[in-house]
Amino acid sequence: MRFPAFYSGPMASSPLTFLGTCHHDCPDSCGWVATVEDGAVTKLRGNPAHPFSRGELCPKVNRFVDRVYNPDRLLGPRIRTGPKGSGEFRDASWDEALAMVAEQVHEVIAEHGGEAVMPWQSAGTQGLIQMSSLDQRFFAKLGATRQTGSLCGATVGWGMAVTNGSAMGADPMDIAHSQLVILWGTNTRLTNRHLWPFIEKARERGAQIVVIDPIRTITAEAADDHIQPLPGTDIALMLAMMHVLIRDDLVDHDYVESHTTGYAELEQHVADKTPEWAATICGVDAATIEALARDYATVRPAMLRTLIGPEHYESGAMFFRTMACLPLLTGSWKELGGGVAKSVGAYAEPFVDHSVFRADHLAEGKTRRSLSMNHLGRNLTDATLAPPIHALFVWGGNPVVTVPGAELIRRGLEREDLFCVVSEQFMTDTARYADVVFPATTQLEHADVVESWGSLYVGWNEPAIQPLGEAVPNTELWRRLAKAMGFTEPELFEDDQSLIASATTTLDMEAMKRDGFIRLPVSKESLPFAEGGFGFPDGKARFVAAELKDQGLPTLPTYRPSKEGLASSDNDKLQLLTPKVHRRFINSSYSGLAGHGDREGAPYVELSRADATRRTIEEDDLVRVFNDRGSLELRARITDRLRPGVVAVPFGWWSEHHDSQSTANSLTSDTLTDWGGGVAYSDTLVEISPL
């Protein structure tokens, strides 16, 4: 079967270079230039013209060409021969693999109905059409269960929206204009490295950089101040800041009066949320909280920069709803370099129309239930689900490593009455459980458009080479599966160029293809809420959110200790954080590759000297980290980067890097966030004992 040509428009660059954009789930969405000789990519460099990434890639993608040509790449379909999870497969032709999937899926639907089929997809590629497009139509046609929830990001937006009526934020690049930069629960130098030069620029202009993080990260080490609250307690810290702002009359009353509602209730609500009160919850002394609040109001412009870290708590959305109240009180939105800079997806919404990919009519009126992607383990093992899941499709993700409750996921994937299809570039921990594995192309082999969540630049991705082996883009997989299933609706077979064109009608695609990127057509000085204009009908932001009442949640910003968390636990338990730590990984991608995992070392558990001494643990001892969900054997690293009571295991390692099959997410909590559909990875308690 020949793969159809992707793109035949005008060539942007000289014959041997191709402009592209990194597809990884990373805020930077760097522009790149691929050099091709004799049909093979020989060099991949940052595109120097890209205004955000400015010619640099990163320690992951500097070796992307090795990833693409890696001997372990999956280059043809495979069919399982050994027990589930064993990783024993044989090569198969596309025709055989497609026929097997079609037969099994028809059988599942005939016996149990369409909802017995579950799609599970994550952001392995963030590309417009390769992340999610034709799959929506394919699964509608099957009448399959819908995936809801999000591992990352949605909770931030939904949290902010309760206060602001929209998920809009400041343009992160405007941080260069700030005099006070508060990096609140984001490890910029690791996870968003191309923003750091803009922060350095602010610093050259006299800005003060503060990091608020329970871990002394590499970003905290480069800051002027590091405030280290106990995990999941920031809401109390923010309430105390509001207390100080109001008590000391550091409030912009004009702004509050013109553009907000509920101030009187907030004033009353925070009257007793003193810095002393917060200090007992956060473990940050009251004087530090006082000073932070005063600086926040008086050193201007002050930018709050946040990403994803704090969403992974039971009160994840409440964190962002509460944060959104701070710039309202000080009128910080009026200033270039003020406000809150979060992910900027909301900027692209008017210009990139994802709704064109839907085709709900294909479901022909069948009801389609929704199940959370964060409860994959629960859903696969819940025999009371009606119907139970009997066919699972996974693409663009590695849930056995990245989703909480990993042991439950494994148990679910081991079920003999589950048919599992995975589309992948590598034989991941998840792919090992598949009945059929399909080979996926990389970003150098397919066309796409990449919307960034870290800057206002949208990138073009020109395929630089033909697909390797028999790999296909995700879109082509859905087309082939639709054909194998015997479907004929033209919507299921739309080609890539047409899909891209239909979603981007308001963008200057010619300029994007010529330069490799364009800036979203929004004004240079983007001040979304300088003059109010919040997303509610009256245009005003809300300190009181009446709609939360229906969900049994407090209508005012409120700190509530987590059910599973330090604040409510006995002292033998430690709170486990599982952050991104490695420069050469992105999530669980790369940890299995030479030049990445081997150079990062091996997984470990970090704990404070006090917690180690209490358990007679020495540096490099082998210890057991466990709770009732799972257990890991790890080397201990004694550190002063963490407070007593808090321990950390780096996220991203596969089971082959651990002594058992388990990984960090074997231990983590799958409790959902208060709203927004996220999950509380960090509300996890563990015990540690020497081995």
Ligand X SMILES: Nc1nc2c(c(=O)[nH]1)N[C@H]1C(S)=C(S)[C@@H](COP(=O)(O)OP(=O)(O)OC[C@H]3O[C@@H](n4cnc5c(=O)[nH]c(N)nc54)[C@H](O)[C@@H]3O)O[C@H]1N2
Sites of contact with Mo ion (CB under 5 A):
152
Gap between the Cα atoms of 274 and 466, Å rounded: 62
What is the phi/psi pair of residue 532, to 5°? 75, -130
Minimum separation from the CB atom of position 22 to ligand X (A): 11
User: Which residue, chain included where needed, has tokens 């660059």?
Assistant: 13
Out of 6, 18, 20, 29, the only residue in the binding site for ligand SF4 (CB under 6 A) is 29
- Which residue, 421, 469, 475, is CA-closest to 76? 469
Largest CA distance in the chain: 73
Q: Which residue is nearest to Mo ion (CB)?
A: 152
Nearer to ligand SF4, 26 or 246 (CB): 26
3-class SS at 286? helix
Summarize the chain as % helix, strand, coil (round to 5). Answer: 35, 20, 45
- Using a 10 angstrom Cβ sphere, with 0-12 exposed, 13-18 middle and 19 or more buried, the burial of residue 325 is buried
Residue 29 or 666 with smaller CB distance to ligand SF4: 29
All residues at 6 or more sequence positions from 247 whose CB lies less than 8 Å from its CB, including other chains? none
Q: Total binding residues for ligand SF4 by CB under 6 A?
A: 13
- What minimum distance in Å lies between the beta carbon of 214 and ligand SF4? 24
- Enumerate residues 30-69 that contact ligand SF4 by CB under 6 A: 30, 53, 57-58, 60-61
Asked whether the CA dihedral 668, 672, 673, 678 is positive or negative, the reply is positive
Query: In angstroms, what is the minimal distance from the CB of 24 to ligand SF4?
Result: 4
CA distance 464 to 192: 26
**CA distance linking residue 637 with residue 606, whole number of Å:** 5
The answer to whether 22 contacts ligand SF4 (rule: CB under 6 A) is: yes
Q: Which residues bind ligand X (CB under 6 A)?
A: 25-26, 122-125, 130, 151-152, 184-187, 190-192, 212-215, 217, 231-232, 234, 307-310, 395-399, 401-402, 423-426, 428, 440, 474, 577-580, 583, 585-589, 651-652, 664-665, 668, 681-682
CA nearest neighbour of 28 among 453, 319, 406? 453
Picked from ligand SF4, ligand X, Mo ion, none, the partner binding residue 527 (CB below 5 to 8 A depending on kind) is none
Q: Where are the beta strands (DSSP E) in 38-148?
A: 40-46, 78-80, 89-91, 117-121, 146-148
Residue 108 touches ligand SF4, criterion: CB under 6 A: no
Separation of alpha carbons 151 and 466, rounded Å: 32
**Positions 173 through 232 that interact with ligand SF4 (CB under 6 A):** 193
Q: Which does 452 bind (CB under 5 to 8 A by kind): ligand X, ligand SF4, Mo ion, none?
A: none
- Which does residue 22 bind out of ligand X, ligand SF4, Mo ion, none, counting CB within 5 to 8 angstroms by kind? ligand SF4
Partner in contact with 190, chosen from ligand SF4, ligand X, Mo ion, none, beta carbon below 5 to 8 Å by kind:
ligand X
260 binds, among ligand X, ligand SF4, Mo ion, none (CB under 5 to 8 A by kind): none
Paired residues of 541 in beta bridges: 260
Tell me the residue ranges of DSSP E strands in 132-206.
146-148, 180-184
Taking CB within 5 to 8 Å according to partner kind, which of ligand SF4, ligand X, Mo ion, none is near residue 374? Answer: none
The answer to whether residues 266 and 251 touch, using CB atoms and an 8 Å cutoff, is no
CB of 255 to ligand X, least distance (A): 26
Q: Which is nearer to Mo ion, 126 or 443 (CB)?
A: 126
Of 64, 67, 65, 89, nearest to 78 (Cα)?
Answer: 89
End-to-end CA distance of the chain: 55
Q: Work out what residue 114 binds among ligand X, Mo ion, ligand SF4, none; the CB cut-off runs from 5 to 8 Å by kind.
A: none
Min dist. Cβ of residue 151 to Mo ion (A): 6
Nearest to 180 by CA among 210, 225, 200, 204: 210
Please identify which residue in the block is written with the tokens 């963030």. Answer: 126
For the window 396-435, what string marks contact with ligand SF4 as x by the rule CB under 6 A?
----------------------------------------
Rounded Cα gap, residues 62 and 583, in angstroms:
11
Which residues 443-462 are close enough to bind ligand SF4 by CB under 6 A? none
Report in angstroms how near the CB of residue 401 gets to ligand X at its nearest.
Answer: 6
- Nearest CB to ligand SF4, comparing residues 651 and 675: 651
Please state, in angstroms and rounded to a whole number, the distance separating the CA atoms of residues 160 and 168: 8
Q: Is the Cβ of residue 89 or residue 255 nearer to ligand X in the bound state? A: 89
| Cβ nearer to ligand SF4, comparing 283 with 459 | 459
Q: How many CA atoms lie within 13 A of 625 on its CB side?
A: 38
- Whichever of 363 and 371 has its CB closer to ligand X, that residue is 371
CA-CA-CA-CA dihedral for 90, 94, 100, 101, to nearest 10: 110
Question: Per CB under 6 A, does 586 bind ligand SF4?
Answer: yes
Angle between helices 316-323 and 154-164 (to 10 degrees): 40
Q: How far is the CB of 641 from Mo ion (least distance, A)?
A: 22
Residue with tokens 């054909």: 483
Near ligand SF4 by CB under 6 A: residue from 6, 19, 20, 28: 28
Taking the complex as a whole, how short is the minimal distance between the CB of residue 459 and ligand SF4, in angstroms?
Answer: 9
Beta carbon nearer to ligand X, 119 or 262: 119
Residue (31 or 327) nearer to ligand SF4, CB? 31
* Cβ contact 315:235 at 8 Å: yes
Minimum distance, C-beta of residue 285 to ligand X, in the bound complex (Å):
16
Q: Which of 463, 462, 459, 348 lies closest to 31, judged by CA?
A: 459
**Nearest distance, CB of residue 125 and Mo ion, angstroms:** 13
Nearer to ligand SF4, 58 or 128 (CB): 58
Q: What's the min distance (Å) between Cβ of 193 and ligand SF4?
A: 6
Q: Which is nearer to ligand SF4, 123 or 324 (CB)?
A: 123
Put the strands of the sheet holding 17-21 in their side by side order. Answer: 17-21, 31-37, 40-46
Whole-number minimum distance, CB 476 to ligand X, in Å?
11
Interface residues toward ligand SF4, by CB under 6 A: 22, 24, 26, 28-30, 53, 57-58, 60-61, 193, 586
